[in-house]
């Protein structure tokens, strides 16, 4: 790693951060990878700009790092011979111009995911008041919980785009008729 990208361009990007202004700094935790440099600023929460070498040009990518969705990013490339203040200007014009909007999209998506998680927890709690309901150890996007009634009937609840799916096992003929009869009385 003696001649890695992060070692070779550390001083350059330290100066780029200085030209970007207050708060910009290199993320030293990322330097050991060697193939990239990460710049961050506390004022741009969860947002960072990464720099790496591709085809003899420095490629800069700005995005929200913790975004689990596909997310958006801004990018540009610069010559490795460019001056630090010129690179900082390109970053301001081509990457940071869209950063606040990308952060807002991330925060909106994060709040939506948290609301869904809270809604699932409330639903599982409501089910547990009626039967034994246990959340699966991990949420895979569909499986919500398993259920067990006192009479030995087991099942699982899955979540899909068109609502919930309830799978019930160990039903006797009479229980099946009662369940189907109950379902037929449900309103839309």
Instruction: Quickly count: other Cβ atoms within 10 Å of residue 143's Cβ.
Output: 16
State the pLDDT at residue 188. 77
For tokens 């919930």, the residue is 164
Burial class (CB in 10 A: 0-12, 13-18, 19+), 27: middle
Q: Is the pLDDT of residue 2 over 60?
A: no
Domain extents in the chain: 5-105, 131-188
Cβ atoms 40, 30 nearer than 8 A: no
- Note the pLDDT tens digit of each residue in 42-96: 999 889 999 999 999 999 999 997 665 556 889 999 999 999 999 999 999 999 9
Cβ atoms 28, 36 nearer than 8 A: no
Q: Mean pLDDT, to the nearest integer, of 21-38?
A: 86
Q: Is the pLDDT of residue 166 over 80?
A: yes
Q: Rounded to whole angstroms, how far apart are CA atoms 157 and 16?
A: 53
């Amino acid at each position: 790693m003696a001649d890695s990208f992060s070692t070779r361009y550390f001083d350059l990007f330290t100066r780029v951060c200085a030209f970007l202004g207050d708060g910009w700094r290199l993320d030293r935790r990322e330097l050991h990878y060697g193939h990239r440099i990460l710049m961050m600023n506390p004022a741009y929460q969860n947002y960072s700009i990464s720099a790496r070498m591709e085809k003899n040009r420095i490629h800069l990518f700005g995005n929200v790092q913790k975004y689990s969705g596909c997310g958006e990013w801004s990018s540009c490339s610069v010559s490795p011979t460019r001056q630090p203040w010129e690179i900082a200007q390109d970053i301001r014009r081509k990457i940071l111009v869209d950063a606040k909007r990308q952060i807002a999209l991330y925060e909106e998506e994060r709040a939506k995911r948290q609301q869904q998680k809270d809604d699932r927890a409330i639903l599982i709690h409501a089910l547990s008041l009626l039967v034994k309901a246990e959340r699966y150890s991990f949420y895979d996007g569909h499986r919500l919980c398993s259920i067990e009634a006192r009479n030995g009937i087991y099942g699982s609840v899955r979540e899909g785009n068109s609502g919930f799916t309830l799978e019930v096992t160990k039903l006797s003929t009479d229980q099946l008729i009662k369940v189907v009869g109950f379902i037929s009385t449900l309103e839309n």
